[in-house]
Amino acid sequence: MDRIDWSALKKGEMNLGTTIAAVAFKGGVVIGADSRTTMGSYIANRVTDKLTQLHDRIYCCRSGSAADTQAVADITRYQLQLYTQVHGHDPPVAVAANMMQSIVYSNKDNLSAGIICAGWDKEAGPSVYNIPLGGGLFKAPWAIGGSGSTYIYGYCDANYREGMEQDECVEFLRNAISLAMSRDGSSGGCVRLCVITEKGAERIFTPGNELPHQGGLWGGKLVKGNGIGSDSAAEIKVDA
């Protein structure tokens, strides 16, 4: 084989399809994902939980092969438990991200795994790490991934701004994932979010019938964002 075919899945393997995202704010991080799992054109699960806990304040968002990403998450969770026992304190987010990156990179010819690792720790505070296919490791204030992410890079670039509060980050991710779900056939279902702070993790669930953007071309609804370099909300009207 002279090249890696990232689109190929092993026989009977399920693909998460997916839109995953994470964004950091002053006191923590917000992570999110859709809930659709596919096998080709068949939707195998409408309510998959793609937000996986690795430690008390460290989570990952999974995209790619469901089996591969679950295995990577399970191994990392086990290693983090050992880290806690050996060192006597909670692991930093960077340690978890590097563990996942090492597994993905070492097995890049055999795994289909795109992962976002995010959380809060005493050393660095809130952190977001993107681990795309092939095993790179990139720290950023926000990250998106999965098949649906290609539809929302423009929205995220235009509407993300530094210094957003927790509620603004929650709305930012909910809007972004909903927009991706309206375009990407491999993303759908509901939106699951999780806010991770020093106090712990809080889950936020939005069912499919309550998403802010539904229907073709978002149903002609207003797409609300923060604008670029402005404190006032920007509204873009999209006709159905």
119: helix, coil or strand?
Answer: strand
Please give the positions annotated as active site. Answer: 18
CB 20 within 8 A of CB 61: yes
User: Looking at beta carbons, which pairs linking 178-181 to residues 24 or more positions away fall under 8 Å?
Assistant: 178/211, 178/212, 178/213, 178/214, 179/151, 179/152, 179/155, 179/213, 179/218, 179/223, 180/19, 180/34, 180/148, 180/149, 180/151, 180/152, 181/19, 181/34, 181/36, 181/148, 181/211
Q: Tokens in use for 3?
A: 């090249």
- Return the axis-axis angle of helices 93-106 and 66-87, rounded to nearest 10°: 130
Angle at 29 between CA 27 and CA 31, to 5 degrees: 160
CB 51 within 8 A of CB 63: no
Measure the CA–CA gap between 86 and 94, rounded to whole angstroms.
Answer: 17
